Chains A and B, each alone.
Chain A
């Protein structure tokens, strides 16, 4: 039992909470103090408080990580998120798989940001750091794990809880010192490199949204109503790029790992970060607008605050368990709902109250907005972005609504529309079209004075030109759907108009070209989304014409293919052939046929039965140890087109006894389209298959016979001294037959054993048959007839191995990833510029 590290961790948790509260009060004192010398002292104390807080947060992280890294399974966190065989890089993912760890990650980023702000923002330090410290106090309270005596009120859920305190298993009553030998392991879905970088990116994004919020609160508090925008803007851009890239990383992970078949599923958990991001984008635009035109101050404030409140709201949605029946992957309820709700309310009510008090004092322009001004077009764009977020927010909040009216005795059972992808996409598509046109327009107005005299040349011409270009594209790719056609036009327009602006601004000064690059990226993303989702098609159509069930009145589209081993099957233009199940050699990155490996005591180590070569390169010799992950099975599927092999696909199925079975696709990437294949149903090897009745044959050595319609030959029978790695001893006698079976692609060897126990006294016979899984056959050496030099072999057969797959074609998905890259670069350029201005 390693109690010290847990106690140390727990101490740091309490220390970080206390120091956060302390820092908060000190900084508030600093803001309120009128005397400059006194204020300086308060600030210095506040700084020390925050340094101590940061140190404590690092201490918690250190303690938790050492528990995971050293496999201290006496701790609940290590036991339930890690295991002995987890590869090193995924130890990091374990850290934030649980709620507590992800709160820690969030706190960590905020602490770092706080340190940066202390160094760089001397004038704003007091109010900004007050907000930071208060937020940190709330976050640390979530992992406090303290029970208030008397009230029986539990605050927070500590990651340092011992397994015996967390679980009610009876073993702990008889043996409180019990430590499980291994942990339950990391959710196989998260064993992916994207899951190593996606959560930190997303939480950094969450953390950065606090910066513009804090500056805005500081501005209201200090009554510096417009000065806050300057330092807040670059941080807003930083938040925009980090959060945006974080979200898309999640999408890319889903595309690569999940078998949902897409990068975006409109799951409530995804929506919960998409909405704040949209509002953040709106906030960034209006802040930039204010800097050049001095209008939109109040909206900037409302939006900067909304972004952070929405982040808190999404935290509440995903972590309170309220999405339970609506989402496939939200966190489980740790009993934090009350605390999360208080956290949300404090900041919502506080920010709204502060705004309300100051509202009248906030300067606003009374002048009328002209239609020929950039303000007009940008305001329209912002309004559209906000409505776009609102449309997603409303159905995502249904579970909250049900609960809320339930508290007043009204029963409500509304659920998100059954086909959520179609439901959201239908309206979001139109919003995207409007946003694209408005942003193209706004770019013209931003860079040039446009009025009644030159609008034909400056605006009408580009609009018509883009229409022409998009009509050409529409005809080339046969996009004969009105909505997609218009979306294409919008995409071309935003790319065209921004390319023009980009060229102009780049000539002037490359540092101001950020906006242009970002918008071109957005246009490419729209087109990529249009093709990959609108024109993605399922190619694994079942054309066998077999009826499933006579009860069904409607005929359904059948979108999966059943592949039997070594039996080519047509799929569209392709021919598919399932070649068998494979293990991956952990350190070699090659796939090995399952029947070439033999089990050992350690499930993660196997022994090669023969020499193993892949592509004429020898990797293992007979009896070499091969490291594998027994949870992962890869299904080797050859893909041929016009008789020649295109590629070999290895979709994966991961079977984790406690986490379940998960299927990941293999993607054949192409410039114009990806072919996306995953296993939709694997054969369950844990269920004993139905074998045919034993069929006996008598053969001589060298004689040919048939096994499940394959030609086989008995090559040899010889006595052996060891069976399955064990010496059998002198009192036992064993004979091993060697049978070679000609498969479609290679020969298989089966070595059944005939064993006579206690040959000298009361002899008994045991059979050790061998199964050739690929061929669906089991061979037993039933008897030996020494006089005739013949052997009786028993043959059982079963249905051959199979796998059911689903395959999709995703056209031009690379345009989406390219657009994402440009978006990030554009944001980066703009951010650097604004940081320099600061």
Chain B
């Protein structure tokens, strides 16, 4: 066997190893029900849940609480299956949090509360808007 072939084989082997480890480390988009099942079966891996903030009939966001020193806060997120879940975030409330249309929380369950390690906000109004302002 030529050395080039050995190098080629080695490259393929590493590439396969990369795919396998990546698949092993990969997180997934799930609903709160799936996330809580995963947590109760002992799977502590962080997962992504997509949802929107809970709003009352008047369109006001409800269920949001900041800690006394405002350094952390919790809120209620409604996932795509309309399941409501209290989410706790150990950081100050991100600016524009209340304006966001969609929230992606990345984290895990701790008993009944979902602990978010990271929050991604999707504010469609940020870039595209179908309504004029102040008209």
Binding site for B on A (CB under 8 A): 80, 163, 167-169, 171, 180, 184, 187, 324-325, 328, 331-332, 368-369, 371, 376, 379-380, 383, 386-387, 390-391, 394-395, 398, 413-419, 423, 427, 542, 544, 546, 548-549, 551-554, 556, 558-560, 562, 653, 657-663, 680-682, 802, 804
Contacts and interface: CB of A to CB of B under 8 A. Distances in A.
Contacts of B128: 80, 332
A521 B30 CA distance: 44
Given A368-B3, A658-B133, A660-B99, A415 B15 contact: no
Contacts of A167: 130-132
* Secondary structure class of chain B's binding surface, majority of residues: mixed
Given A549-B72, A658-B133, A660-B96, A325 B29 contact: yes
A658 B23 CA distance: 39
A386 B91 contact: no
A542 B91 CA distance: 12
B46 interface: yes
B91 A680 contact: yes
Given A332-B124, A395-B22, A417-B27, A553 B110 contact: yes
Nearest to A295: B4
A653 B95 contact: yes
B95 A657 contact: no
A324 B123 CA distance: 11
Interface in B76-112: 88, 90-93, 95-96, 99, 104, 106-107, 110-111
B92 A681 contact: yes
B80 to A, nearest CB: 11
Given A395-B26, A418-B46, A551-B88, 5 more contacts: A325-B104, A418-B118, A553-B110, A680-B91, A681-B92
A427 B4 CA distance: 25
A440 to B, nearest CB: 19
Instruction: Specify the main secondary structure of chain A where it touches its partner.
Output: loop
B93 A681 contact: yes
Given A394-B22, A395-B22, A804-B92, A376 B70 contact: no
A551 B67 contact: no
Given A169-B135, A325-B104, A659-B126, A417 B25 contact: yes
A380 to B, nearest CB: 7
A331 B128 CA distance: 10
Nearest to A386: B11
- B19, B22, B110, B128 — which one has the most chain A CB atoms within 10 A of its CB? B22
Among B28, B120, B121, B124, residue most surrounded by chain A Cβ atoms (within 10 Å)? B28
Nearest to A654: B95
B64 interface: no
A80 B129 contact: yes
Contacts of A376: 3
18 contacts: A80-B129, A167-B130, A167-B132, A169-B131, A368-B2, A380-B7, A383-B11, A387-B15, A391-B22, A395-B26, A416-B27, A418-B47, A418-B107, A549-B88, A552-B110, A553-B110, A659-B126, A661-B96
B73 to A, nearest CB: 9
Given A169-B130, A562-B71, A394 B18 contact: yes
Nearest to B93: A681
A552 B88 contact: yes
Contacts of B50: 325
B130 A418 contact: no
A369 B3 contact: yes
B33 interface: no
Contacts of B106: 418
B108 to A, nearest CB: 8
B95 A663 contact: yes
B61 interface: no
Contacts of B127: 187, 331-332
Contacts of B57: none
A659 B124 CA distance: 10
A804 B67 CA distance: 13
B8 to A, nearest CB: 8
B27 A658 contact: no
Interface of B: 2-4, 7, 10-11, 14-15, 18-19, 21-23, 25-30, 45-48, 50, 67-72, 74, 88, 90-93, 95-96, 99, 104, 106-107, 110-111, 113, 117-118, 120-133, 135
B15 to A, nearest CB: 6
A376 B2 CA distance: 12
A135 B127 CA distance: 28
B7 A383 contact: yes
A394 B135 contact: no
Contacts of A558: 71-72, 90
Given A325-B122, A390-B15, A419-B46, A548 B67 contact: yes
A682 B68 CA distance: 15
A331 B124 CA distance: 11
Contact of A548 (B2, B30, B72): B72
Contacts of A413: 28-30
Nearest to A328: B120
B7 A658 contact: no
B58 to A, nearest CB: 17
A560 B92 contact: yes
A660 B4 CA distance: 55
B22 to A, nearest CB: 5
Given A391-B22, A394-B19, A184 B120 contact: no
Nearest to B96: A660
B133 A660 contact: no
A562 B69 contact: yes
B126 A187 contact: yes
B72 to A, nearest CB: 5
Contacts of B45: 418
Given A414-B26, A556-B90, A660-B95, A184 B133 contact: yes
Contacts of B113: 551-552
A163 B130 CA distance: 10
A681 B67 CA distance: 13
Contacts of A394: 18-19, 22
Contact of A542 (B71, B95, B123, B125): B71
A368 B26 CA distance: 40
A657 B96 CA distance: 10
B26 to A, nearest CB: 5
B32 to A, nearest CB: 14
Nearest to A653: B95
Contacts of A417: 25-27, 46
B126 A171 contact: no
Contacts of B18: 387, 390-391, 394, 427
Nearest to B113: A551
B24 to A, nearest CB: 9
A682 B94 CA distance: 10
